[in-house]
Amino acid sequence: MIIDKSKIKTIDIKKPLQLESGQILDNFTIAYETFGTLNKNKDNAILVFHALSGDQFATGINPITGKDGWWVTAIGPDKAVDTNKYFIICANVLGGCMGTSGPTSINPKTNELYQNTFPLVTIRDMVNAQVLLLDYLQIEKTLCVLGGSMGGMQVLQFCSSNPGRTYSAIPIACTASHSAQNIAFNELSRQAIMADPEWSNGDYLKLNKNPRKGLSVARMAGHISYLSEEGLQEKFGRKLQKKGDFKFTFDADFQVESYLKYQGNAFVDRFDANSYLYLTRAMDYFDLYRENNGVLANAFKDTKIKYCIISFSTDWLYPTSESKKILIALNSIGADVSFVEIITNNGHDSFLLDEPEFLRSVKGFLDSAYEEFKASK
């Protein structure tokens, strides 16, 4: 997927970035957007981390797709993350495909597309790149860092690696390490992409090809994990796409089949297949236990950050039990932490939807943290 870069705000980082793999990115680009206004005291800045399929266009109209930003339900004037009050920063992650350096970028050393020669990145690498963005914006300490799913992983990594750079944090619907089931789902998606002949060992853009079928199936498989059984049953059940009996073909007989095909086909028009491989691999590598000798509490040792952990009752991708492990770790070191489980049938994707209790929880925590942060300065 090649994008119109004239519609994207970027900065070029001229200092080397040491990656966890041992490789070094000498020069790289970060694409980002800001919403709202940074106040004189620079104490109203919020860094939002996006999930796997997200980008920097968290709210407003995405100029590339022409559609609403991915978190328009939460971010905007008078919303939970109020742009009349706060200054919101959101960057496309390292390895992404919306302007930040990744497989679709040009390698400055060869002047050719990176494609599958881009180095593998981790959640820590993504966070380190965005810390450099904060440095560029001259923001020493944010009011809050927040995000859901892969964005929540970045929140946890940020708090572990940079505890002095934020006052508060909201990790949403996430985990401190991927389970075997999580890894299995991601591997299924990756294999679907790589099995598509159009993938061409990752060199498809150079060959003017596109593994649309593989990426579509990958998205369909992933999308199932974002929904709950209750939600699927309530919305689709066994409803047929057309009235009458079965067609006795392999076309979409059931509405749920048609829905998944639509989701898959829509995704390939806005996302890059190689980026999907890179980002899912980064999620699989994420493991705060491994980084801290198997003790999650060590990841947050001596933290002064104020936390609000949020989970959803029907999220089986990152169930409430995973959030509770983070809660227990933070409680064990006496951290200032609150926990909310939202009761809903909307599964993992609940944080992207208009969930009133969730949005009220985010707003209440942010507004309280802001008053405390101002008073502490």
What's the average model confidence in pLDDT over 116-123? 97
Per-residue pLDDT of 199-222, as tens digits, reads: 999 999 999 999 999 999 999 999
Angle 231-236-241 (CA atoms, 0-180°, nearest 5)?
160
CB 138 within 8 A of CB 114: no
CA–CA distance, 178 with 185 (Å, rounded to integer) = 11
CATH architecture type of domain 5-179+288-376: 3-Layer(aba) Sandwich (3.40)
- The pLDDT confidence band at residue 7, using thresholds 50, 70 and 90, is confident
So what's the pLDDT on residue 1? 60
φ/ψ (deg, to 5) at 228: -100, 160
Q: What amino acid positions are annotated as catalytic residues?
A: 149, 315, 348
So what's the pLDDT on residue 306? 98
Residue of 329, 336, 334 whose CA lies nearest to 297: 329
So what's the pLDDT on residue 178? 96
- The pLDDT confidence band at residue 231, using thresholds 50, 70 and 90, is confident
Please tell me if the domain spanning 5-179+288-376 has the same topology as the one spanning 183-279: no
CA–CA distance, 368 with 118 (Å, rounded to integer) = 42
Q: Which two tokens stand for residue 265?
A: 């086909």
So what's the pLDDT on residue 240? 86
**For the chain, percent of residues with pLDDT exceeding 70:** 99
Mean pLDDT of the chain: 95
CA–CA distance, 145 with 46 (Å, rounded to integer) = 6
Helix (H, G, I), strand (E, B) or coil at 325: helix
- Whether domain 183-279 has CATH 3.90.1300.10: the reply is no
CB 306 within 8 A of CB 167: yes
CA–CA distance, 360 with 151 (Å, rounded to integer) = 20
CB 149 within 8 A of CB 54: no
Per-residue pLDDT of 142-196, as tens digits, reads: 999 999 999 999 999 999 999 999 999 999 999 999 999 999 999 999 999 999 9
pTM for the model stands at 0.96
**DSSP 8-state symbol, 29:** E
2 pLDDT higher than 70: no
54 pLDDT higher than 70: yes
What's the average model confidence in pLDDT over 216-229? 93
CA–CA distance, 126 with 89 (Å, rounded to integer) = 15
So what's the pLDDT on residue 30? 98
Report CA 13 to chain centroid distance, whole Å: 22
CA–CA distance, 229 with 83 (Å, rounded to integer) = 35
CB 145 within 8 A of CB 46: yes
Per-residue pLDDT of 290-338, as tens digits, reads: 989 999 999 999 899 999 999 999 999 999 999 999 999 999 999 999 9
Per-residue pLDDT of 257-300, as tens digits, reads: 888 998 999 999 999 999 999 999 999 999 999 989 999 999 99
Domain boundaries, the chain: 5-179+288-376, 183-279
- The pLDDT confidence band at residue 4, using thresholds 50, 70 and 90, is confident
